[in-house]
Amino acid sequence: MLVIVAPGQGAQTPGFLTPWLEDPAFENRLHWLSTVAGLDLAHYGTEADAETIRDTEIAQPLLVGTALVAALQLYPQPADAFRTVGALAGHSVGEIAAAVGARVLTAEQAMVLVRERGKAMARASAATPTGMTAVLGGDRDEVLAALETHGLTPANDNGPGQIVAAGTMEQLAAFADAPPEKARLRPLSVAGAFHTSHMQPAVGHLARLASSISTHDPRTRVISNRDGRVVHDGRDVLARLVGQTASPVRWDLCLETMEDLGVTGILEMPPAGTLTGIAKRALKGVATFALKTPDQLDDARAFCLEHGEDAGLETTPTWRVVVSPVKGTFHRSPEADVPDLAPGTAIGDVASSRDKVEVTAAHGGQVVEWLVEDGDLVSPGQPLVRLHPAGAA
């Protein structure tokens, strides 16, 4: 199974777009997204220095725009991706690129959203001096206990041996004076305490914008940063993108879901390297491909063909599917034993080793076919029931 991932803020480096812009098609597409975002992304990706592209208002649109245009270089016919990509995920702002790849949002909607996200997070960062520090190594429980003692948030949980602490500069300084045993601390060059309560003002602004955004249900699995669950309702994907601004990134749980899915290959969109590096440590035996420059595109396409398989989620206009958000045992609800399901009806739950997750038919409809039985073991993103949309011809 192939999973494609998009990196988050901090992956950008000065000049990383230079080789990509030698292709006129890439340049023209990036120019269009630059126009939508109101930023000269080509300039920032080729000529700007490290301090300039560290700016949240610049870094976030730059990363999303790059991932979107590079995806079209990898899959010139986007429909081909739905037949080979098993799941999509993005780290932090990379989730917006993943949502576009799954056809939840359009590229233009995404660029407006990420433009406003960057601005709102920059304003929130300016309100109180905050920052982030990577905690490398140490005992996980001891690290988390130390963060709680100092009032810090584990803003990024990236897997074994890598947690990112976030909070005020005073809290981070006190933490640095008394670090957990056997842990190394590395202050990060970011503008604020992202994915913490300090970003709550940004959530309100984005929520107002999101209320006017129309979405589509994903055409392939989307793995959420919030809890590692597979999300197959477009409105839920958007709501999670909004809330994620002030909630921790659980990349460790995303990796667990990839493993549950049976991932064999992970390809990271440019500027690549960060997420494939984490995957190499966390998912032993899983092949990785860091797409950094356009001269790698032929090899990247070969990698996708090698690991790609039909996700089984392609729909037609005449039916929808409800899928499992997690791995576990499916228990069907008595409420679902009717021919027509109202929107929001709970069709059952999936009990995993971690928790029990309710599954709802967000759009409702007439039951065409149950694809699993009560008590069946299911995997993340596995179709559970096929529905004929209410009111459809």
Pairing of strands 221-223, 85-90: parallel
The catalytic position among 91, 150, 195, 232 is: 195
In angstroms, the CA 111 to CA 105 distance is 10
Residues 6+ apart with CB under 8 A from 128: 168, 198
Number of other CB atoms surrounding residue 350 within 10 Å: 25
The torsion of the CA quartet 316, 320, 321, 325, rounded to 10 degrees, works out to: 110
Q: What is the DSSP string of 381-393?
A: T-EEEEEEPTT--
Give the span between the Cα atoms of 51 and 13, in whole angstroms. 10
Count the neighbouring beta carbons within 10 Å of the beta carbon of residue 75.
Answer: 18
Pairing of strands 265-268, 2-6: parallel
Out of 92, 125, 324, 352, pick the active-site residue. 92
Nearest-10 Cα torsion for 319, 322, 327, 331: -120
The answer to whether the beta carbons of residues 103 and 218 sit under 8 Å apart is: yes
Measured between alpha carbons, how far is 152 from 223 in angstroms, rounded to an integer?
26
The answer to whether 195 is a known catalytic residue is: yes
The token pair that represents 270 in the structure block? 């440019």
Has 150 been annotated as catalytic?
A: no
User: Distance between CA atoms of 387 and 110, rounded to whole angstroms?
Assistant: 29
Contact 248, 154 (CB under 8 A): yes
Could you list the active site residues? 92, 195
